Structure 1
């Protein structure tokens, strides 16, 4: 079953409370799927987009015909392959994924656990790549979808190194429970993030998915700014962090070196990563 996510109504233009143009209406429909991993029926799409049912029906039909949305046999809709192909060409996806894949493959061969790469986007962890083996623990992660920062290993790393105003915004918004051991107390999460910064890695057990544990480490550019997080996800019962952490740390350091070279973020006064190569939230992240 697809992951269910909280309803989120996109920001609307002032005035009548609905997108004033066809382009605005189409963007509102696509934004209904922005949290990723979602299948929505027509009524849900229209409610999130703030559109009348008749208008939504017509525009969704056109998006399906164009390949931007797909209609599932159960009558729901999901992001189409054409939109995915366009989005996958974004520099923040292609550049980082191409650099990371060799290291992720080596990490998988060393551990045979799920390997994931995520960046900070709109206050959530956006997964840009993942490797999963036949023996790996099932996860809710999908490339292109997002998960909460406070429940995931990569999310804790990204949140720990995010600017203070970003952390405070996440803490103030509330920390919903997703599994038995999800941290929902802001004070406890603050202490956890301090420990992440002190240790240089994050650990989770049964916080996003019952039965899954993760270890995550930061990926830095040449100036030391955290631009992504790399993680291993294993079964809680069999997870041995003493086994997972050394290869994870090695892969994260190796990827950081490649990022520094690729984005010319090294020492000697060279410029840092090109702003257009990084999502807006990544540009804010500091060591």
Structure 2
């Protein structure tokens, strides 16, 4: 039965609480007890226990041998159906593999989700340097190369809203104020690429390019992450740019004449 306004009398709070329980799990909190979930979500322990039971029976959560909980495989099954992530990944994967074979470095594919990027895929060798983010994990837009590419192609209103938010602390990244970020984003939008240097968790340089769909909209970003000093960033641009344009064409994008990317990269003011 619904209320006079047509909304379920009790359905929404239960759904919100279930989502809150799932949201309690993060990279740094992958295994949680009922008490920990209750504390993090501010849901009474008895209610949390009941909802966790429903989520476990459905497969969204799994119970470990010590009685705590982890995210269930069924969540991965659902996530694999997301066309914006896995649809692009399926098309891009052969070109990611070619780029990885050509460079021997990390190759990353990411999409934007609100004020963050989500890493859709990453190809890496055992000898590749340590990076801060995992496949399926969220990445900041301001301080990652793929993030800046995606942020540069947001609407003016979206860009303003994101830049006005308090940035998360990013160890190893070079902080920029709003004015500095706007200059960087303008350069990224003009040239189609981004370069970011990081010192943690290892010293790396990322070179990223935009991927566009058949309407010319930027739907993803591609980057190569290499150890600092292993090569000049501009030496990677031809391979990164070619891969991004090839994936874009596979998505139906008709590319105009490409600008002189390598020349632009040498004069890049980016961090």
TM-score (norm 1): 0.76
CA positional deviation for 1:98: 0.8
Distance 1:48 1:122, change over 3 A: farther
1:99 paired residue number:
91
CA positional deviation for 1:213: 1.9
Distance 1:76 1:199, change over 3 A: farther
Distance 1:114 1:78, change over 3 A: farther
1:242 paired residue number:
234
What is the distance in 2 between the residues matched to 1:70 and 1:234?
A: 37
**Which of 60, 63, 74 is the equivalent residue of 1:82?**
74
2:160 paired residue number:
168
What is the distance in 1 between the residues matched to 2:118 and 2:162?
A: 15
Tell me, which stretches of 5 or more residues in structure 1 are unaligned? 1-17, 268-287
2:144 paired residue number:
152
**Which of 24, 45, 51 is the equivalent residue of 2:37?**
45
CA positional deviation for 1:209: 4.0
Contact preservation (8 Å) 1:177, 1:184 = no
TM-score (norm 2): 0.80
SS for the counterpart of 1:176 is coil
Contact preservation (8 Å) 2:205, 2:227 = yes
- How many residues were matched structurally? 245
Tell me, which stretches of 5 or more residues in structure 2 are unaligned? 1-9, 256-271
SS for the counterpart of 1:120 is strand
Contact preservation (8 Å) 1:116, 1:232 = yes
Deviations 1:33-77 (A, max 9, x none): 4x6675253455334434112222332244345432245678764
2:192 paired residue number:
200
CA positional deviation for 1:147: 1.0
CA radius of gyration, larger in: 2
What is the distance in 2 between the residues matched to 1:210 and 1:177?
A: 16
**Which of 55, 68, 71 is the equivalent residue of 2:47?**
55
CA positional deviation for 1:107: 0.3
Contact preservation (8 Å) 2:207, 2:224 = yes
